[in-house]
Structure 1
């Protein structure tokens, strides 16, 4: 009897051990083996092109755009706030005062201008946009595309509004169908901006015949108090920044001032997407913040905010990817996000990360 009891305990322990191991090893990516054509995702790290010096010509990106077009993405995402997040930031502007002003300004302005013509608030415009896009089909009339332009703008998506505007023949880029003179002027102004949402995402979407881009950023930072944020930028950030700027990896990273020709711009983007460089810089910036000891562990809290933001971005990208199961998704983000998003997205059941080396070579 004692032998039987001992054997039972051994079997139970083995079962529990196996169950624990199974739980620890679970990964949604294992389901990918059951999918013949997983959704392919390229995460392109970029510098923020709005930092370019006066006189910089975005045409030096033509060779890069050729490489990106060769990937033939079905979905393009950009590092800007989606309409609901913009609306939330504004509604909670007393909580997120800096984020509301810095990251929601243009979308709110264009949304309010479009809303006057359409007599719709942001959620109403989003609902009407979905109905409208379902009705117009693949070859909308100029009037239908102008209305799409106005609805995208009113819903808090200025970059997709620009895609619709640019897909109109130049003779049809005129006020009407919800596009007021003021909104038309704002769209023309946006089209002249030297930023990646315009010169990379929107222009590529038009070139490929896509109807829109997807905004996937999330600046809803609710981790550090204002006082803790002050401590971080006074005590942690200067130390980390000094190490960062002194490291050879920072000097190797692609820079916009080096983008003087199409060939040089492509070379700079290869460096911006070099995993070796980005891993080293991430160690300095984020592991460095974790290691820097202060009252309240503000460095660790700042990393928690960073990880939370990237997780929300990854969720938005995954949601956008559902529009094209088995298709191709191009994610355009600041280079610092690249490794984090590839790590998070690579855990998904229907995502295959494609190296930028395959299209930037």
Structure 2
């Protein structure tokens, strides 16, 4: 009996070793190698890895972004995507509170005041915005812009509403055409915030004569951690992040942030965040470390699964935008840890040409 059990164990061990030694299957189809020039202009995408400006020290001021903005403006993007959740996705998540209640609280704006002012819920407001833009006049009046701003707010697209607000002369930023005093105060407050979706994306869109920015973030992979596992999960991920790569990134950020207020400091920070080696450093400090996290529940692998799913869906949103109007220059502004994944996934697309951020920021 023992001999039979021993033989089974040995065979099982040999099978495990053989399985581990078997080379992984590699597909023969490589979309990234099938990029023949399309008919017409190519789609060009510049991925700009960004700090979250709200997390920068008080020495940061919006006017320090001017060297960055001037370089991006010279590249002349025709479409701008931002790390924000669309109103339509927020509407979907609100209908699924068991899974998404926390995400709605964190990432979705309250559209109630704008709905009351316009009479439009989120789906209807999105349809109305598309209808307005389809027949948008060459020289929109101030009333046109105020109306579209109100509709964008009802649609849950607050950054696009800010674009319209910025395109209005200061004296025309008044409560009218669907904008109540409450909504005007909200838009004015947005202009004072420290958010790259406003200070970089919406500001640049207004300078370039664009009518909107596109919300391409995705949080449909979110799900609440069971209460009984919250503490263990958080501790496991934090332990994984406690590594030399994380310390090196933190030290580099501290040096860059210490120089804020000096000429060119924000441009230097963006150049650093978009350097060729930055993506691999982020992987080693964060996602690669999480994959090696040894908890029995495999918290790290679950975290990486969420992260990859989110980035795939974000890139799918970008690809969707490009498919609606082929042949555009698209600027995608996103937290720097996403940049490597954005570029790797976008590079799989037949009709996407990536642009080196280093060349644009030079």
1:30 Cα offset (Å): 4.1
TM-score (normalised: structure 2) = 0.87
Q: C-alpha distance in 1, partners of 2:98/2:331? A: 34
Q: C-alpha distance in 2, partners of 1:83/1:95? A: 17
- Please tell me whether the aligned partners of residues 52 and 256 of structure 1 are also in contact (alpha carbons under 8 angstroms): yes
Runs (4+) of structure 1 moved beyond 6 Å?
Answer: none
Q: C-alpha distance in 2, partners of 1:95/1:313? A: 19
Three-state SS of the structure 2 residue aligned to 1:216 is: strand
Q: Does 1:51 align with 2:52?
A: no
Q: C-alpha distance in 2, partners of 1:235/1:327? A: 43
1:223 Cα offset (Å): 5.8
Unmatched tracts of structure 2, length 5 or more: 1-25
Identify if the C-alpha distance between structure 1 residues 303 and 151 changes in structure 2 by more than 3 Å, giving closer, same or farther.
same
Deviates more, 1:296-305 or 1:271-280: 271-280
- Please tell me whether the aligned partners of residues 77 and 213 of structure 1 are also in contact (alpha carbons under 8 angstroms): yes
Q: Which residue of 62, 71, 74 corresponds with 2:75?
A: 71
Alignment of 1:230-309 (within 5 A): 230-246=231-247, 248-253=248-253, 255-309=256-310
Write out per-residue CA displacement over residues 75-111 of structure 1, whole angstroms, 9 at most, x where no aligned residue: 001101011111122222332232111111xx22xx2
Unmatched tracts of structure 1, length 5 or more: 1-22
TM-score (normalised: structure 1) = 0.87
Q: C-alpha distance in 2, partners of 1:249/1:130? A: 42
Q: Does 1:62 align with 2:53?
A: no
Identify if the C-alpha distance between structure 1 residues 154 and 353 changes in structure 2 by more than 3 Å, giving closer, same or farther.
same
Aligned-residue CA RMSD (Å): 1.9
Identify if the C-alpha distance between structure 1 residues 64 and 262 changes in structure 2 by more than 3 Å, giving closer, same or farther.
farther
Identify if the C-alpha distance between structure 1 residues 280 and 245 changes in structure 2 by more than 3 Å, giving closer, same or farther.
closer
1:324 Cα offset (Å): 3.8
Larger fraction in helix: 1
Could you say which residue in structure 1 is the equivalent of 2:215?
215
Q: C-alpha distance in 2, partners of 1:141/1:167? A: 11
- Please tell me whether the aligned partners of residues 47 and 339 of structure 2 are also in contact (alpha carbons under 8 angstroms): yes
